[in-house]
Structure 1
Amino acid sequence: MAKQHRILTGQVAAITGAARGIGRATAEAFLREGMKVAIGDLDHATAQQTARELGHGTIALPLNVTERASVKAFLDGVEEQLGPVDVLVNNAGIMQIGHRIWEEDDATTQRMIDINVNGVMFGVKEIVPRMLERGRGHVVNVASTAGKGGFPGGGTYCGTKHYVVGLSEALRAELRDTGIEVSCVMPVVVNTELAAGLQQTRGVKQVQPSDVAEEIVSALREARFDVFVPRSVAGITKVMNVLPRGGREAMSRALKADQVLAQVDVGRRAAYELRASQSDAVLNGGEQAKQLTP
């Protein structure tokens, strides 16, 4: 008998980092399912504009995922306006790349840890107790295929995404038989501002934010943990896992995966890298140029 898919209509979803990119596309996909959607972003003005454009009762709230108090306030606000959160998508993240580990400045390293690691951790810590009280819910953590390997030029980014994968696996085990589901989303390079100036790998093309959003919807319906985008990457990952290290590294070179984060078009990435450097609310205008990795 085919597994019955879950009905999403009427569920309340909160999405972090949803003013643009994957977060926005996910909000759109959720709305098509009849869900109630709240988006949170450090760029509150853009989040508000996005909410107006999406319509259908979408709300936008300020959110700084690097501060647990802000994450709590975000979820409190969602529940006050829309009701108990059924789905939390921990999507907020940045990717500053193109430098060898020892050449990356400390501010850049810390910024990725604060947003990519702490942002997911605080989301989990704040939402799970609420879901446990109700005996239901679904946590979706957006990682990356970079969380399954280490790639030159993106040591810190890969490390943060390894954290998200590991945290998600542990969380799934801890929540077994509680009624709360966990999904870990692992896309290849996604055609967003974050991926500007990146090279293509052989055999695996960039995907669109809408592709990731549709797989997230599918994961909610099917209660699926591993969410590779595209799904064909799951097969590549299985092969990589059984190869010895030398074989994995040779395969990575053959697919040009070892060049994606290392050999980037700096000019095309300049605008994104500057915005990412400003995503830490602690930095002020006088510090931005000094903190941005040249």
Structure 2
Amino acid sequence: MNKIDLEGEHAVVTGGAQGLGFAMARRIVASGATVTLWDIDKDRLEQARAEIGEAATVQIADISDWSSVEAAAAATEKASGKISILVNSAGIAGAAAPLDNYDIEMWKKVIDINVNGTFYVNRAVVPGMKARNYGRIVNIASVAGKEGNPNAAAYSASKAAVMGMTKSLGKELAQYDIAVNCITPATAQTRILEQLTEEHIEYMRSRIPRGRLLEVDEAAAMVAWLVSRENSFTTAAAFDLSGGRTTY
């Protein structure tokens, strides 16, 4: 494991109780930072805190609810003194279905969590970063946001929105020492796959030239550099993690 220096930083990782978020939080702590895990699942939060150790604190937060995000950000700032790193990993896949038969309420839920939630979380932490003239933000998008996956219009649209939002915010904050980027991973081996059919999973695996799904620690390694001070120039960008599926 490459050594990334995050000493003295405090990170918020949404969706940090499991999957990609947990792996990223663990890698951030291994690099010297402290972390607050935001998640809606209280039991998994406590388990994640126990696994990571004393460098981790937890905060129950529903990222689709602005008042919940605002309260979580205030509590985290008060307890830690600052939020200098944000990794927004919370999200859902939604159902796999053709657009003309897609459940309206499920569509709204995917957009509310993946798009509105990303907006709320970024909106809550940016003012403190601007005041301190420092911050690193990574939003988790998806290869689906680049290419679109069949029978996943809601998820694909939501992740394309995350990419566009990231690029806009990165440009807005370019005058500060704040980097805002996103990653576009291919399908990773996480619990989010429980929402999908085996046929859908196999379709996504078949599209990856590497011939396998993404490992969560591979994503965490890329994020560790993106949230470091070494990433002092690149902002408003999408970093590919597709195993060769997309080359742009």
CA distance in 1, matches of 2:223, 2:27: 9
Residue number in structure 2 paired with 1:210: 217
What is the letter of the counterpart of residue 75 of structure 2? Answer: G
1:177 pairs with 2:175: yes
- The equivalent residue for 2:240 is 228
Identify the match of residue 91 of structure 1 among 73, 89, 92.
Answer: 89
- Counterparts of 1:50 and 1:123, CA distance in 2: 21
Among 60, 63, 73, the residue aligned to 2:61: 63
Equivalent runs, 1:66-85 vs 2, <5 Å? 66-85=64-83
Deviation, structure 1 residue 231: 6.5
Aligned-partner residue type, residue 74 of structure 1: A
Partner residue, 1:45: 43
Read off the aligned partner of 1:59 and give its amino acid letter. T
TM-score, scaled to structure 1: 0.75
Deviation at 1:44, TM superposition (A): 1.6
Note the alpha carbon deviations across 1:67-96, whole angstroms, 9 max, x for none.
111111111111122220000111110002
What's the offset of the Cα at 1:193? Answer: 1.4
Alignment of 1:1-294 (within 5 A): 7-196=5-194, 197=198, 198-199=201-202, 200-202=205-207, 203-204=209-210, 205-221=212-228, 222-223=230-231, 224=234, 225-230=237-242, 232-233=244-245, 236-238=246-248
Q: Using the alignment, how far apart are the partners of 1:149 and 1:169 within structure 2? A: 17
Structure 2 CA distance, aligned partners of 1:227 and 1:194? Answer: 21
Compute the RMSD of aligned alpha carbons: 1.7
Q: What is the DSSP-based 3-state SS (H/G/I as helix, E as strand, rest coil) of the residue aligned with 2:7?
A: coil
Residue pair 2:4, 2:31 contacting (<8 A) in 1 also: no
Is the deviation greater in 127-136 or in 152-161?
127-136
2:22 maps to amino acid: R
Unpaired runs of 5+ residues, structure 2, are none
Cα deviation, residue 54, structure 1: 1.1
Q: Deviations over 1:170-190 (max 9, x none)?
A: 111111121111111110010
Aligned length: 232
Measured in 1, the distance between the counterparts of 2:177 and 2:132 equals 9
Contact 2:240 2:247 in 1 (8 A): no
Larger radius of gyration: 1
Deviation larger for 216-225 or 105-114: 216-225
**Secondary structure of 1:133's match?**
helix
TM value normalised by structure 2: 0.88
Contact kept in structure 2, 1:8 and 1:34, CA below 8 Å: yes
Cα deviation for residue 227 of structure 1 reads 2.1
Letter in 2 for 1:227: F
Structure 1: segments with no counterpart, 5+ residues: 239-294
Provide the C-alpha distance between the structure 1 equivalents of 2:242 and 2:27, rounded to a whole number of angstroms. 17
